[in-house]
Structure 1
Amino acid sequence: MSAGQDQAAGPLAGLRVVELSSFVATPLAGLTLAQLGADVIRVEPLGGGPDRGRWPLAPSGTSLYWSGLNRGKRALEVNLADPAGRALVADLVVEGDGILVANNERWADLGHQALSERRSDVIHVLLTGRRDGGTAVDYTVQAGTGFPLVTGPAGHAAPVNHVLPAWDVAAGLYLAAGLLAAERHRARTGLGSAVRVALEDVALALAGNLGYLAEAQLGGDRVREGNDVHGTFGTDLTTADGVRFMFVALTPRQWRDLLEMTGLGDVVAGLEKALDADFADEGDRYRHRAALFGLLGSWVSTRSWAEVSEALSRTRILWSPYRSFADLAAHDAAELRAHPLFATVDQPGVGPYLAPGSPIDVAGAPASSARAPQVGEHNAELLAERLGLPPERMAALMADGVVRDRQEVEA
């Protein structure tokens, strides 16, 4: 299935977005829109963007990272150092839907002011590192916003960064939401917008919204708790046959299910009385979790995973065994193949593999088998068909090194 067929089926069909970006957040914003049907044109410098070879890699050296974040897009390769190359990108923006998403302000002629002088309702979406325009990446934002100092085993002294670039991911989704909000505003008022998202602001906003900053302002001192779930009742346990799993009992019903499943009701009632606690209260369960986890750990450690999982399946307790990426990709491949989120993609340099569509379950956005484009794959159709450049103009651009003839490059 081609990207065009996928786009025609999605709820954002007809929306054209020019993406001038690299790495995680802005490509994820474009991917989010493309998987919902938008026509996303990924612009790269000659030879491809700086993230084209980023790990993880297929055995051929093709970036699995790049392939995953750019599926379903079309690729334009131009010499961005040449004003004529940037003029082509600007033409695609103003003569299309007037929407550009970018992660740098390197070129004034592709900035909001220059584009809005050509088209007053242009929507310019920009990711920055910091609100003042300073640079930052996910891991430096992590370092400056407190999270690595409460991540990791209890008592561990050194900071622990999360391997998931959470702020990049959140920023990408904020960029997509901001773009759609601006497009909605334009539909109502006819006005364009300059949308700005700073990576550091994303982390600060979420640290504030989730109560971390308010807690600190009120004198709280969050510490590392390992895999214990802060403020409620959940942790990881290990069965007699060595299977480690995570469970969470959030609600009173789940707590009652846990006591009934384990038969520990009388023991827990005695502990409750001895501690002058009320374990019907989530806060008391959390405060006395060490004693309670000890009881549960003893019960679990004398039973096999088959016994424990069968017992958990009869309750409303939230639980899952720990699985590696290899478990998901190999041992549970049949599960992925059957999952409606996934479709088989045949990516050049990688081969066929299962790749996800949009996790937004909305009518008209099925799992997509569209692959990621190769460098400059759509140069001809974008410049000739979308901008209407005649053959002689295309030849002149190639002769001047503004764009490249993909057939000659591939040969």
Structure 2
Amino acid sequence: MTSDRATRAGRPLHGVRVLELSSYVATPLCGLTLAQLGADVIRVEAPGGAPDRTRLPTTDDGCSYYWTGLNKGKRAIAVDLSTHEGQEVVADLADDADIVIANGPYKGLVTAEALRARNPRLVHVRLSGTWDGGASVDYLAQAKVGFQHVTGPRGHAAPVNHVLPAWDIAAGLYLATGVLAALRERDGTGVGTSITLALEDVAFATAGNLGLLTQAQLDPTPRGPDGNYVYGTYGRDFALADGHRIMLVVLTARHWHALLEVTGLRAAVAGLEEALQIDLDDEQVRYAHRDVISALLEPWFARHDLAGLAEILAGRKVLWSVYRTVEEAAGQLGDNPLFAELDQPGIGTHLAPGSPLVFDARRPAPLPAPSVGEHTHEVLADRLGADRYTKLLKSRVVDSADNPLRETA
């Protein structure tokens, strides 16, 4: 690995090589996270591209906003892993790789066992759907773990899905964390490891860590949906005079007293506390009496428009935010250093995020996502040798973006 600080600034994984054999969200997100930290991530796809390259949303020409977002800064080679020759190519590449990321039941020369037998230093990570190796996807994991039955309007009997693929995202970041831990271990032992992660285990672990599964085992009272209230503390949405809606959250007694001060409700709340013999400085008491508190707050918020509310709350210890549409959020990116201008082929010029992590005040700019086989030649040509590379190009076992040698039927 280079020690050039100028080259490595903000890129602590510079010099680490990753082969990514994956699609959809979780494993590409793992690869993206490593690429944003400076790793050289080489995405291996079948000739013609991975099945998620055209996933919605897309441009009118079919270029996927989703795919290009999750694959920024990677290199891409096209190799047919259904053939023995294609497996040989990837196995040869893995001999010099540090990490392989996979989310498929690969066979032959590209299993974890086969690759690590050739390269004992290799860190191999594989995502499955279930703990026993079965298939699953985010929305199936959502359905199994129960969050959708506590989401939605109060009294609503049917489950409500969330549009955020939360378990895919958490799984991708878990995988990246596992990779970093394995690299640290390898620094001491010289030996890699095989890491496996089940998508549904991420969902169940999170539900358990947040206490939901423990509560469900020990408390017979079912927890149902409660609209936009925040469970366990005071928080909900309010309508303003101009039609905007805001989200308010009160976590601490300091937040609570700041809210009472700015709304002028201190006396009314004191009377309520005396009448009910309660102390609303207590978070759990505020949650238990959330409907009564909301009845006091609703008229106050309804008298203010967004501009007036922002002026009143400026500098106050009150946690709140206006609800934005995605389009409105996209119009507010220019001042955030997370975003930089990116010219993505097939998409156009836009503001794209880099890594949220900042190292020594440095944040490398985002790089474009690759086209199908864009880097096949630079990755494979010298390594395979001219004769082998040309033969594989002709047969389309490997393919490049500008391959003139494809065999025709």
**d(CA) in 2 for partners of 1:303, 1:410:** 68
**d(CA) in 2 for partners of 1:406, 1:74:** 12
Q: Which amino acid aligns with 2:54?
A: G
TM-score, length-scaled by structure 1: 0.94
Report if the CA contact (8 A) 1:7-1:35 is conserved.
no
Which residue of 1 is the match for residue 207 of structure 2?
207
Report if the CA contact (8 A) 1:11-1:364 is conserved.
no
SS at match of 2:366: coil
Identity %: 52
Q: Which amino acid aligns with 1:249?
A: V
SS at match of 1:19: strand
Which residue of 2 is the match for residue 145 of structure 1?
145
Report if the CA contact (8 A) 1:342-1:367 is conserved.
no
Report if the CA contact (8 A) 2:56-2:65 is conserved.
yes
Q: Which amino acid aligns with 1:342?
A: F
Report if the CA contact (8 A) 1:7-1:34 is conserved.
no
SS at match of 2:310: helix
- The change in CA–CA distance for 1:116 and 1:369 in structure 2 (over 3 A counts) is closer
**d(CA) in 1 for partners of 2:402, 2:306:** 57
Which residue of 1 is the match for residue 251 of structure 2?
250
Which residue of 2 is the match for residue 34 of structure 1?
35
**d(CA) in 2 for partners of 1:206, 1:108:** 34
- The change in CA–CA distance for 1:383 and 1:365 in structure 2 (over 3 A counts) is farther
- The change in CA–CA distance for 1:409 and 1:203 in structure 2 (over 3 A counts) is farther
Which of 321, 343, 349 aligns to 2:346? It is 349
1:233-273 Cα offsets, whole Å, 9 max, x none, are 11100111211000111111110101100111111111111
Which residue of 1 is the match for residue 102 of structure 2?
102
1:342-389 Cα offsets, whole Å, 9 max, x none, are 01111111110111001112237524231000000000111124xx22
- Greater Cα offset, 204-213 or 9-18: 9-18
Q: Does 1:337 align with 2:338?
A: no
What is the CA distance between 1:305 and its match in structure 2? 2.1
Report if the CA contact (8 A) 1:131-1:198 is conserved.
yes
1:132-169 Cα offsets, whole Å, 9 max, x none, are 00000000000010011001111111111100000000
SS at match of 2:200: helix
Map 1:233-248 → 2, pairs under 5 A: 233-248=234-249
Which residue of 2 is the match for residue 403 of structure 1?
398
- The change in CA–CA distance for 1:93 and 1:365 in structure 2 (over 3 A counts) is farther
Q: Which amino acid aligns with 2:386?
A: P
SS at match of 2:271: helix
What root-mean-square deviation, in Å, do the aligned CA atoms of Structure 1 and Structure 2 show? 1.8
Which residue of 1 is the match for residue 82 of structure 2?
81
1:173-213 Cα offsets, whole Å, 9 max, x none, are 00111111111111111222110110000000000011111
TM-score, length-scaled by structure 2: 0.94
**d(CA) in 1 for partners of 2:223, 2:404:** 56
- Greater Cα offset, 258-267 or 214-223: 214-223
Q: Which amino acid aligns with 1:246?
A: M
Q: Does 1:382 align with 2:383?
A: no
Which residue of 2 is the match for residue 90 of structure 1?
91
**d(CA) in 1 for partners of 2:307, 2:402:** 58
**d(CA) in 2 for partners of 1:410, 1:374:** 18
What is the CA distance between 1:401 and its match in structure 2? 2.3
- The change in CA–CA distance for 1:363 and 1:87 in structure 2 (over 3 A counts) is farther
Map 1:8-407 → 2, pairs under 5 A: 8-9=8-9, 10-97=11-98, 99-219=99-219, 220-330=221-331, 332=332, 336-363=333-360, 366-385=363-382, 388-407=383-402
Gaps of 5+ in 2: 1-5
Gaps of 5+ in 1: 1-5
1:116-140 Cα offsets, whole Å, 9 max, x none, are 2212222110000001000000000
